[in-house]
Amino acid sequence: MSIVDEASIDGLPDPVRRCLLHSGVLGTPVPTGVTVRQRGRIRTSRESRWLGFRAVETYGVEEPAFSWRAGLRIGGVTLGRATDSLSDGHGSMHVKLLGLFDVVDESGSGIDQGSAMRWLNETMWFPAVWATPTIRWEPIDETSAIGSVTTGETTVQAEFRFDETGRLVDFAAERLRGVDDAFEPTPWRTPITEHRSFDGLELPAAGTAEWLLDDGPFPYIEIAVDDITYTH
């Protein structure tokens, strides 16, 4: 079992190191698996109706992987199920409405990139991995750093943004966005609106994800975390 100690964080960019100290990660083991229980709402366009959801997401840590399973609801009625996953460097997305109709069923290199970016973003819920060779870091300044990860044939990188106390407050990257039958690199960010204690660690507890489009930001998901558990 790998423990996050002073030696493992010594060479990290200052804001990353400060975040690990502030959140309480120092002295804790790097998990082998993570489970996050979530709730929120999601939409596919500015004009579409928000759908509520409750989800359970599990993660692989040493080799980037995740499986997200959500129930989609309006007014307390379950309308469908959504899954999103990353395994062996390949991502996939699937949405089925009313248990009958596949409205999303996607895979391929564009999804691989987006899924790897999602995993990198969501390391905010298991930041001990930041102190391992899985994540590579480049310093920017006192409140930001570039993190990158490779899984399969896909490498992604993003800017992690912190406040002066060491809390992660935003994440910004170029992520591939599905447009018609193609994928376009599009600015993407996930501002964090709340932090809370989970298993003794202070971690992001709520936020949004949004595309930065020509006609302004398009927030498409709002999410809150109910629980985080770790496997060691």
% of residues, the chain, pLDDT over 70: 95
Q: What is the pLDDT of residues 142-156, one digit of tens each?
A: 999 999 999 999 999
The CATH architecture annotation of domain 6-231 reads: Clam (2.50)
Confidence of residue 178 (pLDDT cuts 50, 70, 90): confident
Domain boundaries, the chain: 6-231
How many Å is the maximal CA-CA distance in the chain?
53
Burial grade of 1 (CB within 10 A; 0-12, 13-18, 19 or more): exposed
* Averaged pLDDT, 182-208: 97
* Averaged pLDDT, 57-81: 90
Q: What is the pLDDT of residues 152-169, one digit of tens each?
A: 999 999 999 999 999 999
pTM score:
0.95
Quote the pLDDT of residue 94.
85
Quote the pLDDT of residue 182.
86
